[in-house]
Structures are given as structure tokens and as C-alpha cells.
Amino acid sequence: MLSTLPSEILIIISSQLESQIDRLSLAGCSHRFRTLLLPHAFTSITIRKDCTWSLSSLVHILVRSPTFAHHVLSLSLNTDNNHCQHPHKIQINEETMQEVLKNLGLTEEDTPKWENDLRGKVEGSWEGQQQDAWSAILLTLLPNLEVLQMEWGHEVDHRRTVLERASRSEGPVDTRPTFSRLREVYIRSYETYTGISVSDVFPFFRFPSMRKFSSHVVIYGHKHEKTAEIPGDCNVTDLALYSSSPTSGFAGLISRCARLESFICQHASGLEWYSPLDHPSLHRKLIRHTNTLKEIAIYCEIDPCRPRGPNEDAFFGSLAGFSVLQKLRLRASNLLDWDSKALKARNHLWEVLPPSLQSLVVEDFHQCPNMEEFVEQLADMIRNSYPGSPGPRSLEIRGILHDLRKYHWRKGSRVGTLLLPAIASAAALLDLYCPDGGVDFAMCDVLLEMHFGCGLVPKESYRVDSALSSLLSR
């Protein structure tokens, strides 16, 4: 029987339940369970999109029971894009609302604005303003919060105020340890034409406990926006910017990290504030982290019509000095220094890749200036590798690999049967040397991956038979 188990075992069982509803149900089984497990049921909280009722109800509960608030370690706000369906209307306890407003330490000028947004009484206001107000208050109630996920849309004024003041240890959160344990943040915007301003990212970098920051649709380049400064070096070690448009603003984020261990940048073109990707500029900023970076991934979203900037095919820079780099993901055009006229590489992968590299992912292979030379360099590096020499244990080639003019999208032509001739030849050569070199080799068509969820090319479509393999290896 559960009731006979020690308290420590019951707490472990509760912590293993992923659903908050299941944790609450277990806590409601008995008076003992309620006293013991109810606080632990609040360890991880998820609020569905557009559910102001859940937000306000949660705030009321945490104000009345601060012990529950201290147990909240993970919070997810509106990140699943699943809208709330229930008909419940928000109900406000006047005493509770006045208490939270008082604790915010607002000025007489700001208090009416917050109160009206909490009630949703501002004429012509969006529901998002009401959600933003309740979300901002919720954030101030969680002193032990470690992981935060939330949507960042048009209505973020109240959350922006709370985050900015907390990052500078100013009111309304100067007397409570708000965000003092925050170590992992994920924010995303579903507004691809506005996105998240880099200036809204900076406050997260000021919290000493921060280690991982990732986001979708971060944009720099608003005409009215100036580059913000981050005082001192921040402690973020993992930085991931997906579907974003980087310029000098991202370089500023990189330069302020004291020990960056992972940098992921997925460049997006379908944004209002689009700017070309400048690989050499990013390399110059990442050089500061040659002794700490273990992963670098800089690539583009799948978009055959994507505009290409003047430096987009430029040589990224040598990575030979990155002593602990294990994972690398770059476009084929940026891995080597290509002569744009002669279409020949001025360097060799031996000179570019570090001995520590374990995994190499080559993006946009179909746009490689000289596919034959690139593959020959890869094969040369693999077959002549020795202990301490550059050479990954895993190699993946990605790009538009099939002849899409012959591909029947509705009928779903068999993946691999329509490989472009140059792609098939390159795959056959790499598949010949990779097994002997102890390298796991795979190819992926990015368009098929986008449309069908899997673009992995079957090895049978390019693998040569054993007789031919023996002949080629002589």
C-alpha cells in the first residue's frame, strides 16, 4: 500500500509524475498525502495559451500559500500554442490583488495601469495585456525558479518591466530574491514579422545564475533600437538562437559570455528585419571561447528561395585552435576558403578542423562551390586519419539532394531513387571510406525532411557493390 511507504519514497514517486494533474491527484488521496505532497505538486507548472483564468487562480493560490511558491522550480507559459478551451471566467479576490500590487512597490502613477490590466478593463485593450500583467506578477512570486519557458508576443510591457528591474536589483523586486536561481530560459515568438528584440534578451544575461538561454525569432536591427550594454561578463554557457536574424547584436551577446560552451544559430530569411548572415564576423567573436566551446552550429532555415548576402558564402574561419570542440555544423560554402572565380579551395580541411572534433554536419551541400573537391578532401581526411589528427567519428551531409523536377510529391517517390548524379557519386565515395575509417556516415534531404519528417537517404541508393568497392580501393 502507498500509505505505508516512507515519506521520502512518496516524494520521489510524486516527482516522477510528469503531469501536474497526476501529482495533484496523488496529493489528494489522503490527509497525510496532502500535507506531504501538495507542495511538491507545484514543482513544475504549465499554463496553456490564453488561459488567464489559470494564471490568476495560480497567483491567488501562491499568495495565500507562499510555501507552494517556494517549491516551483519550472514554469512554462503559453509555449505549446494550444489555446485554452474551458469557459471559466476570471475571478479576482480584492484583498489578494491589493496585496500583490502593494508588494510590487509601484508608484501612484503606475498602480492604476497595473490594476486596470489585471481586471482587463482597459477599453480597446487586447486580452494579452491582461495575461501579461498576471504573468509578470507570477514571476515575482517564485524565488526558487530555475527553468522558465514562455511566449514573447506584442503584450510584454509588464514582464519587460519586472525582468529589467530584477536584472538591475531595482524595485519592485529589490527586496526579494527574484530570479536568483534562474539557470535556464527558453522564449519564443510566433510573430515572425516582429520577433523578439535583442534588448529584451539582455536582462536574462545579467542574472548570475543563468547558464542556458535559447529562443526562437530573435531580431536585431529595429531602426529605433540602439545596442544595449551588459555590465560585466555573464555566466551563460549555452546560447541557442533559432529562426533568428543575427547582426552585431548577436556578436554583443557572444562577447559578453565568459565561458561559452555551445553556440547554435539558425538563420532565418522570412523576417521583416532580415539581415544577411556574416560568418567571418561571428568567427571573430567566437575566437574568445576557443578553450571552452564544445559545439558550434551555424546554419540556415530550409528555404530554397532564401536571399543570400555578400558574406554568406565567405570562409567562416579556421577552427584548428578550438581545443575542445566536439560538434560542428556549418554550410559547405563556409567550411573552406573558396576562390569564387576558380572554384578551388585555398586551404584543406586538415588546416581547418581541430583534432578534438567528433561530429561534423555539412549543411547546404548542394550549394558547395566545388562538390568534387570538397568530397575528395573529406575522403582524404578520413582515409589518412591517425590518432591526434583531425577527423570526425560522425559525418552527415545535408541539403537538397534529389532531382525535385522528377519527384512526385503527392505520390511520394521513394527517397534515394532520384538522387542528383553528382550527389550520388559523392555519397558513394564517402560511403566507401567512412566504414574503414570508423566514421558513421549519413545523408539527409532537407526538403523531404521538412515535408515528411524524415529525409534520410537509404544507403542502398548510392552504395557500390563489393566487386566495384574492391576495384576502387586498389
The predicted-structure confidence for 376-415, as pLDDT tens digits, reads as follows 999 998 888 766 666 789 999 999 988 776 655 445 555 4
* Per-residue pLDDT at 174 exceeds 80: no
| Three cell numbers written together for 277 | 548572415
Which residues lie closer than 8 Å to 175 by C-beta, 6 or more apart? Answer: 105
pLDDT of residue 303: 67
pLDDT of residue 53: 85
Strand 184-188 and strand 295-300: the pairing is: unpaired
Q: Which residue has the higher pLDDT, 215 or 4?
A: 215
| Three cell numbers written together for 99 | 496585496
pLDDT of residue 470: 41
Amino acid, res. 305: C
Report the alpha-carbon distance of residue 80 to residue 151 in Å, rounded: 9
Report the alpha-carbon distance of residue 304 to residue 121 in Å, rounded: 47
Decide: 174 and 211 in contact? Cβ < 8 Å.
no
pTM (2 decimals)? 0.85
User: Which of these ranges, 76-80, 132-136, 409-413, has the smallest mean pLDDT?
Assistant: 409-413
Decide: 158 and 174 in contact? Cβ < 8 Å.
no
Mean pLDDT, rounded, for 247-259: 77
Closest CA to 257 of 293, 221, 281: 293
pLDDT tens-place string over residues 367-378: 999 999 999 999
Report the alpha-carbon distance of residue 389 to residue 425 in Å, rounded: 26
Report the alpha-carbon distance of residue 310 to residue 333 in Å, rounded: 13
pLDDT of residue 407: 57
Question: Residue 76 gets which letter from DSSP?
Answer: E
Report the alpha-carbon distance of residue 159 to residue 165 in Å, rounded: 10
Whose cell is 570562409? That residue is: 315
Q: Which residue has the higher pLDDT, 118 or 238?
A: 238
pLDDT of residue 326: 96
pLDDT of residue 263: 96
Report the alpha-carbon distance of residue 219 to residue 229 in Å, rounded: 16
